[in-house]
Amino acid sequence: MSEKIEVMIPEEELMNRIGELAKEIDRDYQGKEIYMICILKGSVFFACELAKKLATPVILDFMQVSSYGDGTTTSGSVKIIKDLDSSIKDKDVLIIEDILDSGRTLCRLISILSVSNPASLKVCTLLDKPARREFPVDVDYNGFEIEDEFVVGFGLDYAQKYRNLPYIGIVRFEE
Ligand code: IMP
Ligand code: MG
């Protein structure tokens, strides 16, 4: 079976929307410094583009997590593969995620980070697939709501491929 990629959101549309998000975030964080947590690997492209467009000072940090359900409860869990470099106590934390799907990853991450008492904790996602939600997550900033399609590009992968595409594409599988 081979895959074909169909453009869903072209590069220019992504850039324009990220610019709008940056303006909104700048308005909300006046006089503050953003402690930006980029969730590896998928959010790297989005976090870089957003950070470049922000006028608010940004401290950039990274986390890598893997999420898995335990099969018996609906809570699921996430394993931290790379933790933050510094403490987020009293910081204005903004989590950057590529895509919100079931919500498992963000739901668990928010409860883990809340324990460290940040001054504020907000979430910014590039894409949201609301039809897939199993775990409630309050998203503060979202780029695009999309249908339930498997997408790649701009950081998102299929079997670690296609992250470097400059647009968001739908994967079509062919015999
Ligand atoms: P959640 O924990 O189910 O919300 O899953 C979020 C993670 O699943 C994202 O950070 C992505 O790594 C991955 N994911 C979900 N949907 C897609 C998709 O359509 N394409 C690529 N990765 C996806
Ligand atoms: Mg991810």
At 161-174, the pLDDT tens digits run 999 999 999 999 88
Is 101 a catalytic site residue? Answer: yes
Is the pLDDT assigned to residue 159 strictly greater than 80?
A: yes
Query: Residue 73: its pLDDT value, please?
Result: 47
Q: What's the number of domains the chain is made of?
A: 1
Residue 170 lies in a domain: no
Residue 56 lies in a domain: yes
Calculate how far, in angstroms, residue 146's C-alpha sits from the geometric centre of ligand 1. Answer: 13
Calculate how far, in angstroms, residue 154's C-alpha sits from the geometric centre of ligand 2. Answer: 12
Residue 171 lies in a domain: no
Q: Is the CB of residue 104 below 6 angstroms from any atom belonging to ligand 1? A: yes
Is the pLDDT assigned to residue 69 strictly greater than 60?
A: no
pLDDT band at residue 76 under the 50/70/90 scheme = low
- For residues 104-110, average pLDDT: 93
Which segments of the chain does DSSP mark as H helices, in order? 11-28, 44-53, 104-114
Of 83, 101, 140, 157, the catalytic one is 101
Q: Where are the beta strands (DSSP E) in the chain?
A: 2-9, 34-40, 58-68, 77-82, 92-100, 120-128, 141-145, 151-152, 168-174
How far lies 152's CA from each of 46, 101, 133, 171, in Å? Answer: 13, 13, 19, 7
Domain span at residue 88?
Answer: 11-147
Ligand nearest to C-alpha 68: 1
Cα Rg of the chain, angstroms = 16
Residue 135 lies in a domain: yes
Residue 127 lies in a domain: yes
Residue 174 lies in a domain: no
Query: Residue 72: its pLDDT value, please?
Result: 45
Ligand nearest to C-alpha 152: 1
Tokens standing for residue 140: 């503060």
pLDDT band at residue 71 under the 50/70/90 scheme = very low
**pTM of this structure:** 0.94
Residue 6 lies in a domain: no
Q: Is the CB of residue 102 below 6 angstroms from any atom belonging to ligand 1? A: yes
CATH number of the domain within which 78 lies:
3.40.50.2020
Is the pLDDT assigned to residue 48 strictly greater than 60?
A: yes
